[in-house]
Amino acid sequence: MSFELETAVQPAGLRRVAIDPVSRVEGHGKVTILLDADDHVHQVRLHIVEFRGFEMFVQGRPFWELPVMVQRLCGICPVSHHLAAAKALDVIVGATRLTPTAEKIRRLMHYGQILQSHALHFFHLASPDLLFGFDSDVAKRNIMAVAAEYPDIARKGVLLRKFGQEVIRVTSGKRVHGTGAIPGGVNKALTREERDALYADAYVMIGWSREAVALVKRLHLANAGLYNSFGAFRSNMMSLVADDGGLDLYHGALRARDADGKLIFDHLDTHRYWDQITEEVKPWSYMKFPYLRALGPEAGWYKVGPLVRVQNCDQIPTPLADAERREFVDFGGNMPIHATLAYHWARMIEMLFAAEEIKALLHDDDLLGEDLVVTGERQRRGIGVIEAPRGTLIHHYRINADDQVIRANLIVATTHNNQALNESIRQVAKRYLDGRKLTEGLLNYIEVAIRAFDPCLSCATHALGQMPLAVELIDASGACIDGLQRDGDGTVSSPQRA
C-alpha cells in the first residue's frame, strides 16, 4: 500500500498547501489536487475540519457529566457519543457487567440510532446519486427530485427516520440531549405502553429495510462494472465483533484483517486498543491518521464502517440480515469487497440488522425491569468502544481523585477513515480529471466518493449559509489554476474564473 499521490516523489517545484484559518471556518470539506509539469495528478488531499478541541472541551468536568456533555460534540450521532462515554464510565465506576435491563435498553437505543442514521444516509443523501446517476444535474440529485419520481422511497425514508428517533426518545428519555445511559447502567426502564407503541411499527420497519437492501443491491448489480471500480482501493479493515465472531455494534472485541481478508489480530480487548492502534499527525491536516502499530503508517492504515463490518464478522445474528450478508460476501468471491460504492449495500444490510434487533429486543420483558444500575470498585481510567453508524468510535478518559476528567482521547469513525477517504478521492481524481480545468462532473464524482463513507463532516456547526465543498487545482509552480465550490443551495461557482 503506498501513498503515491499524497506525497510527491520530487517535491521541488511543488508548493505545500496549508490549511489557513479561512478554510477552517468555511469548510466542511476541501480538496486540493496538485498537478505535475505534465499535468498529471501528483497529489490529492482531502482536508477535513476536525475539532481536536473535543478533548479540551471535557477536561476539568466531573466525569458523570460526560454522557450528556459529549452529545454536544456532534449533532449527527449524539447517541453514539452518549453510549461510548457511558461505556467508558462503566469501567470507572467498576460496573464490569450491566444488569440485563440496562444492557438491553442501551442496545435498543443504539440500534435505534443505527437505523435512523443509515436511513438518513441512504434515502436522503445517497439515493439521489444512485437513482439518477452520478452525472445527473445537481438540480436532480436531491430529496425533492426523489420525492417527485420515487415518492414511496422518499416517504419510507422519512418514516424510518421517525421510527428510529422514537426508539431513541423512549430509551434516552428525551428527543435530544437524552440522559438515558448513566455510569453503570440506565436511569429508566421502558413502560409497557412505550414498548407496545414501538412494537406496533417494528415489523413494518423490517419490511421497508428489506426493500432498501433489495433496491441498493439491484442498483449495484445493474451497473457492477462502475460500482465495483469507482473510487475503489484495497486496505486493511477493522471493527468490533462479538465473542463468537458475530456482528455486534454495541459491544465486543476488535478484529483487523488485511486487504486479502487474513487476520491481523482478533479478539483484542478494547481496553488495550492502544497496543495495536496509534495515530500519526500530518502537517496538512487537522485530522490525525490512525494506523496499526505492527504495520507502520504506510502499510497500517485501515478503513472502518459498514463495508468492513459485514465482511469482518463471521455471521449476523439475525436471519434476514445474515442471508443478505452471505449473498454480499458471495458477490465478492473469495476476496473481500473493497468497492467504495459497496458501502451503500453493506449499510442497508446493517439497517435491516438494526430493524431485526429492535424487534427482537422489544419482545424481551427485561426492557421493563427495575434493576437499572450496578457499581463496583472505582477506577481512574475508562475506555468505551462502540460501532457507531460510520464506524468504530473510541472514548478514553482518565479522571483524578476529585472525579474530574484530566485526559480524554476520542477517535471517531471519520478519523479512522481519514486515509481511506483520501485514497478514494485519489482514485476518482486519477480517473476523471482531464487536463487543467475542473469540471462540475469531477466535483460530482468527488462528492459521490466522499458520500459513500457517510463521513461526519458537519461536526462543526450547521448554521445556515455554510459552504459545503471546495476543490482547488494547483499546478507544478504552486499556482492555483482553477477552483470550484458548491454552495449550500447547490450552486457551483469558481472564484478563480471570476
Report the residue from 120, 215, 355, 361 that binds another protein according to the rule CB under 8 A: 120
454/475 with CB nearer another protein? 454
Cβ–Cβ < 8 Å for 71, 388 = no
**Is 154 among the residues that bind another protein (CB under 8 A)?**
yes
CB of 415 to another protein, least distance (A): 16
CA 88 to chain centroid:
20
> Binding to another protein by residue 457, rule CB under 8 A?
yes
Could you list the beta-strand ranges (E) of 389-461: 391-399, 405-411
Q: Tell me, what amino acid is at 206?
A: I
- Residue 460's Cβ-count burial label (10 Å; 0-12, 13-18, 19+) is middle
CB nearer to another protein: pick between 144 and 479: 144
Question: What mask, x for binding another protein by CB under 8 A, covers residues 63 to 92?
Answer: ------x-xxx-xx-x--------------
124 lies in the site for another protein, by CB under 8 A:
yes
- Does position 197 interact with another protein (CB under 8 A)? The reply is no
450 touches another protein by CB under 8 A: yes
All 3 cell numbers of residue 25? 471556518
Q: Which helix (H) or strand (E) holds 180?
A: none
Count of residues near another protein by CB under 8 A: 61
User: Coil, strand or helix: which one is 492?
Assistant: strand
> Is residue 226 a contact partner of residue 365, using CB atoms and an 8 Å limit?
no
Burial class (CB in 10 A: 0-12, 13-18, 19+), 278: middle
175 binds another protein (CB under 8 A): yes
Q: How far apart are CA 382 and CA 347, in angstroms?
A: 30
Residues from 386 through 425 that contact another protein (CB under 8 A): none
Q: Which residues contact 228 (CB under 8 A, 6 or more apart)?
A: 339, 341, 342
With CB under 8 A as the contact rule, the residue among 112, 252, 455, 483 that binds another protein is: 455
The residue from 112, 157, 391, 483 that contacts another protein (CB under 8 A) is 157
Report the DSSP beta bridge partners of residue 480. 474
Q: How far is the CB of 459 from another protein (least distance, A)?
A: 9
Output the CA angle 360-322-205, nearest 5 degrees.
45
Is 21 near another protein (CB under 8 A)? no
Residue 1 contacts another protein per CB under 8 A: no
- Placement of cell 461557482 in the chain: 493
Q: Residue 327 is placed in which grid cell?
A: 449473498
Smallest distance from another protein to CB 217, Å: 23
Q: Measured from the CB atom, is 357 or 447 closer to another protein?
A: 447
Q: Which residues bind another protein (CB under 8 A)?
A: 28-29, 51, 53-54, 56-57, 69, 71-73, 75-76, 78, 116, 120-121, 123-125, 138-139, 141-147, 151, 154-155, 157-159, 161-162, 165, 175-176, 447, 450-451, 454-458, 460-466, 468-469, 486, 488-490
